[in-house]
């Protein structure tokens, strides 16, 4: 799914489930840092979740590849964890 659609679903889910509405409009960080953070956090979560899923898949495949190496099997045969 495109990032902007996921971000919209996150905001919609928060409004629907928790009856919480983020502030609308553009607020400068120098005027009201708390309000700016509320506007910033959910799109950042949407972007971070997509990147985290990709990174987790790559890390898992790399770990499984290393666990199949000869030196790991030799260490297991000698009793190491």
Domain spans, the chain = 3-22+31-77
Residues 6+ apart with CB under 8 A from 27: 35, 36, 39
Q: What would the pLDDT profile of 4-51 be if each residue is shown by its tens digit? A: 787 778 778 877 887 766 666 777 888 888 888 877 777 787 778 778
Q: How far apart are CA 38 and CA 70, in angstroms?
A: 50
Q: What would the pLDDT profile of 63-76 be if each residue is shown by its tens digit? A: 999 999 999 999 98
- Long-range contacts of the stretch 56-64 (C-beta < 8 A, 24+): none
Cβ atoms of 26 and 57 closer than 8 Å: no
């Amino acid at each position: 799914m495109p990032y902007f659609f996921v971000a919209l679903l996150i905001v919609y889910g928060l409004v629907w489930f928790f009856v919480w509405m983020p502030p609308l409009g553009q607020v400068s960080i120098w005027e009201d840092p708390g309000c700016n953070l509320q506007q910033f956090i959910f799109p950042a979560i949407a972007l971070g979740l997509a990147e985290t899923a990709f990174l987790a898949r790559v890390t898992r495949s790399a770990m499984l590849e290393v666990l199949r190496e000869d030196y790991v099997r030799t260490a297991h045969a000698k009793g190491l964890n």
